[in-house]
A and B are shown apart, each in its own frame.
Chain A
Amino acid sequence: MRILPSGERALLIEVDGPTAVHALARALAQVAGVIDVVPAARTVLLTCAPEALDGVRSLAADLTPEEVSAADTGEEVVIDVHYDGEDLDGVARMTGLSTTEVIARHTGATYTADFLGFAPGFAYLSGLDPALHVPRLDTPRTSVPAGAVAIAGDRAAVYPRSSPGGWRLLGHTDAVLFDPEADPPALLQAGTRVRFREVG
C-alpha cells in the first residue's frame, strides 16, 4: 500500500486490486473527517476536512494487510432486463452465438461493480463472459436511452440516464440506477455484486 499526496484536502491510496480497493473504501468511509471516498481500479481517493488530513493519513498507514484484503461482502443486486437492444443481433453475429446464447451468457455471470465514473450512477462492471468481449462501436451514438444495458470490451454497464455512448446495447431495464432522493443516490456502489435476469 502506498499513500500519495493529492492537495491540501485529499490522499490517494494505492493498493493491489479491486478487492483491496473495496475493503479499504468501506473501512475508511466511516472515519470522522472523511468527506468523500472515490474507489477506482487500484486506488482510493479520500477527501477530508483539512484539519482531519493528518489523522486520516496515520490511520490509513496503520491498516494491516488483512484489513485491506478482507473478503468482499458487497451486497447483490438483481437487474431485470428486456433483451430488445439495437445491437443484440450484431453482437450475436460478431461472437458467432445465437441471440438466445448471448442472453444466456449475459444473465449467467455474476458481475462486480469495480468503480463508478463517466456519469452519476454509472458503474463499470467486471465479470463479463469472455465470449461476449466485443469492441465499442466505431462511432458512438449521440444519445443512448436511460436504462440501456450494454457491453464493451471486458465490461458490462447500465446507462443511468440518457447520454452519448459507444457501448453495444443488449437491452433495457426499468430499474432506476441513479436517484438524487435516495441514500446512497447510486443503486450500484463499488463492490456491489450484480446479476441480470431476463424478463418479458
Chain B
Amino acid sequence: MKKSIVEALFDVEFTKGALLFFAQNSPSYLQPEEVVHDKNIYPNKKTFLYFEPIGTIAAIKPWNFPFDLPIWSCIAPALMAGNAVILKPSPLTTKTGELIEDIFLQAGASEGLIQTIIGDDEVGKELVQVEGIDMISFTGSIKTGHSIASECAKMGKKYVLEMGGKDVAIVFPDCDIKTTLNGITMHGFMNNGQVCTSIERLLIHKNIYKEFLDKLILKVKEITPVPFANKNQFLIVRKQLEEAVQTGCHILIGGKNFDEDKNIIEPTILECIDTSLDIWQKESFGPVLAVRSFETVEQVIRLANNSIYGLGASVWTNNIDIFSSLAKKLEVGMVWQNEANLPFLEGVWTGWKQSGFGVSLGKHGTRVYTKIKQISESIF
C-alpha cells in the first residue's frame, strides 16, 4: 500500500484520536447496567447486566488502512473491554502490522497482550478454526467473511465482520454544487477508490444531470492517476470496465490507457442505465464511478437499494425534508447529508445486508467485544 504523506499522516492522527476516545469513554460504556423491572411483576428482583471480556480475539485486517483500522475497529476497544488481541495483517502490509505490536510493547503492554502474526490466508483460516481464539474481528471481502461466519458458527465463536460496500451518492438539484463536486470527487477517488466507503454509484436528478456531470468530469480530469496496491485488484477492475463497455455502458472519462506495468487505471466515470449490470452491483475497489439519472424520490430509493451491499450512502441536498425521508428508506448502516465516508468515533461504523455483521466504534463498538452476563438478586 502506497499512500501520500498527507494521507499516511492523517491515518496516524486518526488512530491517536481513536485511542484517546476509547481510553476516555469505554469505561462508562462498560459500567454494569441496572435492568428496570416492572415492580408489579418482580417486586423483589434487583438485576444488573455486566459486560465481561470475551478472551482472545483474532483481528484479520486488510491492507488499505493498515495502521488505523486494526486499532480503531478492534485493538483499542477490545483491550478496554479486557481482551487480548492477535493481529493478522494483510501479507501486503506486514511491516505496519509488526510495528503495531512493537508500539504496544514499548508503551508497556505485557507480553502476549497484543501480538502480530504474519501469514497468508491459510494462517487466517487456522485462526478461525483453532481452539483458544474466542472471537474473530474481520474486515475484508464478502467471500472470506461468509466462510468466517460459517466456521465461527460451528465453533461457537463470536464474530464481527465488515465486508465492503458499493456506496451510493444521490444528488438533488438544490444541492450546493461546489460542496457536492468536491465531496464526490474526493470520496469517489480517494486512495484510488480502495476504500470500503468509496462512492461507486452516482444517481443524479435529471434536472441537473448534464450540468453536474460536465462539471464533475472537469474536476476528475485534474486527478493524477495512482497505481493499485496490487496487480490482482488492477486486473479485476480492468475486467469489470471492459465488460461494462461490452454490455452497453458509455465511458464519459478515463477507462482507457491502462498502464499494465504500473497497475494504473485512470479515474473513470461510466454512464450506465441498466443497474443490474456488474458495474452497479459488484464492488470495484478502484477509481470507477457508475452514473445514471433519476426522476422521482421513489425511483431513486429503488435504484439505491438495488444492491447486495448496505454500508454507507450520501445524499446531496439542502432540503432537510427530502434528506430525512430518503435517509429513513435507504437500506444502509450510515447515511450522510452533504458528506460521505465520515466516521464518528462516538457513533457507529456498520453495514447492513452483505456489508457486514456487527458494529465498530462508539458504545456499540466497545460492547461488541464483550459477553453480557445478567445477574439477578432476590431481595428479601
User: Do A and B assemble together?
Assistant: no
Which A positions have Cβ atoms within 8 angstroms of B?
none
